Amino acid sequence: MSPPGATLKEQLFELTRRRYRTAKVEGIEFCFQSLTEAERSRFEKQVLNKSGAVRDDSRRRLLIMVLVDPKDKKPYLTDSDMQELGELDGKLTGKLFDHAMAHTGFTDDDMEILEKN
């Protein structure tokens, strides 16, 4: 919480702390972290292929960025997990992706805008 009399700029930069949320999906408790503006921009850039379409691995890329260990808050997935994530049940990844999108502030419209750009 900002001290009394803090400037608007001080109040704004007070909001740099990550947010965390847990959700139970298919009986497993998952922890999601928020993205910084720089991370969100990097994700948006990563998920577009050369023709401007959203890559087919965009869901997996977001999960790698936001799923963290609930205790130490460190990511527990890496890019080397991309192929194995692709083998998961689509219903499970869809549910995880929906939680990740909601927690990071992405909307379905954001993905449509990415595709159009």
Domains of the chain: 8-116 (3.30.2220.20)
Rg from Cα positions in the chain = 16
Nearest to 76 by CA among 49, 95, 96, 94: 96
Strand order in the sheet with 28-33: 20-25, 28-33, 67-68
Query: Over the stretch 67-93, which tens digit does the pLDDT of each residue have?
Result: 999 999 999 999 999 999 999 999 999
Share the mean pLDDT of the chain.
Answer: 88
Strand partners, 67: 32
C-beta neighbour count of 90 within 10 angstroms: 10
Strand partners, 58: none
